[in-house]
Structure 1
Amino acid sequence: MTLGRSLRGWANYFRHGSSSRCFQQIDYHAWKRIGGWIRRKHHPISWREIRRRFTIDGRYAHNGITFHGAANVKIDRYRYRGSKIPNPWTITDPITS
């Protein structure tokens, strides 16, 4: 599913500055939009029927592929990098090394 891949990629980019609650809200919005699309496609269908036919443990699934959105991305906040951040342009003195 390209939607799930896009949401996870977006979440990986913003995982250092965003909160998990924001990711949960985005997943909820995507879940409702996908459900609305399924409801329009299979017109006289209820939300209960959508959950029964198209979800596994509350996640949309089809042919063994499960929709995992942004909330599954681990938030990595305030990584400790030590006292110096290494870069390849640092000049080191070969005599003292």
Structure 2
Amino acid sequence: MVLINGTEHHAHEIRTEVAELLRPMGLSLSPEKTRVVHMDSGFDFLGWRIQRRKKAGTNRTMIYTYPSKKSLHSIVGKVRFITRRQGSPYKTLEALLQHLNTVVRGWCLYFRHGVSKATFSYLAYYTWWAVARWLKKRHPRLGWRKIKRRFLTEKPDQRPEENGTVLYNPSDIAIERYRYRGNTIPTPWSARAEQLEQAATPA
């Protein structure tokens, strides 16, 4: 990912320059995966959606990074597969939760550095109901009241639990935003810009 402060023409120039820089290393840009886009339109990168948007309640615009729809669809699909009601390999709720918690917690830890609170809340809601449906299918002779009494923690949380293993709640994870370090990360263009600035300065 390369970000520039300029026009589309400048972006295409940098794209050519990057291709030339990679060529001696035996690397090349993939035509299918390399695009020039405006920050206002946004783009997906390593599971993130990066986009400039207006800050709520103000006229200021800021760069936001949050889980992409594709990433959310991926973790929802994994939760759906783990809690499937047909052909489930888990004999106990404890075994199900141990696997599910590992998958969901790992996904949330990756995305905890972005604007992910709303996404985590949705994922918490989705996983809770997915496990609840698994329980109802697993114990068809038990009514929902008995299932709640046997497999859910006390109010107000009422999380699915067995033998001390409790369903992980993505809403509990703390959001830790990355500090901006763009000006402190050296690049080949940093040195070039400094040289051009020195050449333009009168002796």
Q: Does 1:62 align with 2:62?
A: no
1:1-97 maps to which residues of 2 (within 5 A)?
A: 1-57=98-154, 58-79=158-179, 84=184
| TM-score, normalised relative to structure 1 | 0.73
Q: Distance in 2 between matches of 1:35 and 1:18?
A: 28
Specify the structure having the higher radius of gyration (Cα). 2
Structure with greater contact order relative to length (CA < 8 Å, sep ≥ 6):
1
In the superposition, relative to structure 1, how do residues 85 and 49 fare at CA in structure 2: closer, same or farther (>3 Å)?
farther
Instruction: State, as a whole percentage, how many aligned pairs show the same letter.
Output: 38
Q: Distance in 1 between matches of 2:115 and 2:151?
A: 30
| TM-fit CA distance, 1:22 | 1.4
In the superposition, relative to structure 1, how do residues 18 and 4 fare at CA in structure 2: closer, same or farther (>3 Å)?
farther
Q: Distance in 1 between matches of 2:146 and 2:121?
A: 23
Q: Which stretches in structure 1 are left out of the alignment for 5+ residues?
A: 87-97
In the superposition, relative to structure 1, how do residues 20 and 47 fare at CA in structure 2: closer, same or farther (>3 Å)?
farther
Residue type at the aligned position of 2:174: K
| TM-score, normalised relative to structure 2 | 0.38
Report what 1:92 is aligned to.
Answer: none
Q: Distance in 2 between matches of 1:53 and 1:68?
A: 18
SS of the residue 2:125 aligns to? helix
| TM-fit CA distance, 1:80 | 5.9
In the superposition, relative to structure 1, how do residues 49 and 21 fare at CA in structure 2: closer, same or farther (>3 Å)?
farther
Aligned residues: 86
Q: Distance in 2 between matches of 1:7 and 1:55?
A: 19
